[in-house]
């Protein structure tokens, strides 16, 4: 992850932008894996847990495309 974030910051970050943030999604929380994966990393790192909701909250329903809209965009030729 560190390799890709450094590459992104060097090659794509616009002057004035903050440093890139990496997000790793895991199926389950494992403190031991996090400890070993981040040992020696000197840049700030946040680790948190998230929950998957079976339904999108009503306040976000109009803000995101529907599954059918996403499918249409993904299947369109370039």
Residues 34, 47: contact at Cβ < 8 Å?
A: yes
* CB neighbourhood size of 66 (10 A): 10
> DSSP label at 21?
-
List of residues 6+ apart from 10 with CB closer than 8 A:
none
Enter the pTM of the model: 0.49
pLDDT per residue of the chain (78 residues) written in tens, 0 to 9: 888 889 999 999 999 999 888 887 777 777 888 888 888 888 777 777 777 778 888 888 788 888 899 899 899 887
Helix (H, G, I), strand (E, B) or coil at 51: coil
| Domain limits, the chain | 1-52
How much of the chain exceeds pLDDT 70, in percent?
99
pLDDT in the model for residue 15: 93
């Amino acid at each position: 992850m560190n390799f890709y974030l450094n590459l992104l910051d060097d090659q794509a970050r616009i002057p004035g932008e903050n440093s890139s943030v990496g997000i790793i999604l895991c199926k389950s929380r494992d403190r031991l894996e996090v400890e070993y994966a981040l040992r020696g990393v000197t840049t700030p790192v946040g680790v948190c847990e998230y929950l998957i909701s079976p339904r999108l909250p009503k306040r976000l329903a109009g803000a995101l495309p529907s599954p059918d809209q996403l499918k249409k965009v993904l299947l369109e030729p370039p």
